[in-house]
Amino acid sequence: MTRTITLAIESQAECIELLSGALGGLCRLLALPAAPIEIAMVEAVNNVVEHAYHGEPGHPVWVEFEWAPNRLSLRVRDRGQPMAPGRLEAAPALADPDPAALSPRSRGLTLIKSCMDTVEYEARDGVNTLSMSRALATGESV
């Protein structure tokens, strides 16, 4: 059986912790590994607030959480400026850091790709959707 819940916040950085709290509760309820799921969701919503809506509050952000016994899916939707084509694909994989070249640049997309098995992006009819999923091992727990 698949179970789904959709959460919505307005595009304010201060509201993201509300999503984190709700997601943490869902992960405890379903005995899911909370840490990678929370990282992926927070980074995805950060990107929406910062880039799709350019830090402007008052716009909608939706997070759909879909649980099936062997897979967890997250979909983050917004109505802001779409991500540039190829940006997701261009996000580098995690690599050993070079102290001399260390940069405070955002690692958001890289972290999302590291925490989830599949990550896809679609901009259609004014709605942008970042879809992420992660396989759940039998008995995988927090």
Residues in contact with other proteins by CB under 8 A are 13-14, 16-17, 20, 35, 38-39, 42-43, 46, 49-50, 94-97, 99, 102-108, 111, 114-115
CB of 130 to other proteins, least distance (A): 15
CB of 13 to other proteins, least distance (A): 4
Rg from Cα positions in the chain: 15
CB of 137 to other proteins, least distance (A): 18
DSSP notation for 16-29:
HHHHHHHHHHHHHH
Q: Which is nearer to other proteins, 21 or 69 (CB)?
A: 21
Q: Which is nearer to other proteins, 5 or 35 (CB)?
A: 35
CA dihedral 35, 40, 45, 51 (to 10 degrees): 140
- What element of type H or E holds 118? strand 118-124
